[in-house]
Chains A and B, each alone.
Chain A
């Protein structure tokens, strides 16, 4: 019944084969979509603020709303005002993942956030960066992050290993959350699309489900970019303020 493999859409294709030494550095469809996302968001922000006025026009107010959303709702309310120096990083991360998720919903395009290696690279950058910030700011006292306050010393024997484990598991949960959401959603769309052709006239029902699922996927795409950025802010708050 399922004529097409639902995972076929995640195949990486070499568009421009490049081989340097023994390394395959080809320009793939994944890299193409990443370039499109970077060009779109950079072009949008640069063009909309080129003739910046005190009273913003339509385009300028959209990019100002995006900036204010990241600055107030993500940074200030989760990591505190002294996390403002990291605003450019969180802004780039949020918009890159958002564009990646949304561009993947365009028919016949490719979702680069549905590959674990892409999301894991992003999460690893966040994890290593946040750890370096914490150690640079607090030095040896950074280790007090693993010791909860007001706990009887006997319980610390149990709690400190749990805290250490939950700290080092962060990059994995952060990357698997985004990857699993994107992969599961897109696979589900293709599976239901397979039912449409298989069922004939009754295929109207799975078609209706597919339309509803596309709407859910738009919500999930925006939400997962938001969750990735908000968790980055929370990790940053841990490193800056140590609980």
Chain B
């Protein structure tokens, strides 16, 4: 296998990390809707957005690796 195709496959594999971010962000907002439906007065939205940002970042680590493989090396 030549290096160019190996780079493409590697970048594709690195994007699998986004599965985790998707599950995490889904969980965060599902929990937010759950808690707001049970208690509309709950002050939890800032925590939800903090959790969203932290969960999203883990997926972006994988995406950043994919970009590095494709465009830097």
Contact = CB atoms under 8 A, between A and B. Distances in A.
Interface in A11-51: none
Contacts, number: 44
Interface string B43-69: 000100110111011001101100100
Contacts of B72: 7
Interface in B19-65: 46, 49-50, 52-54, 56-57, 60-61, 63-64
Contacts of B53: 220, 223-224, 226-227
A183 B50 contact: no
B57 A180 contact: yes
A128 to B, nearest CB: 22
A203 interface: no
Interface in A187-217: 187
Most chain A CB within 10 A, of B52, B57, B64, B67, is at B57
A183 B72 CA distance: 13
A181 B67 contact: no
Contacts of B54: 177, 227
A73 B67 contact: no
Nearest to A224: B53
A179 B60 CA distance: 10
B56 A6 contact: no
Given A181-B57, A184-B67, A187-B67, 11 more contacts: A5-B71, A176-B61, A176-B64, A177-B57, A180-B60, A180-B63, A180-B64, A187-B71, A223-B52, A226-B50, A226-B53
Interface of B: 46, 49-50, 52-54, 56-57, 60-61, 63-64, 67, 71-72
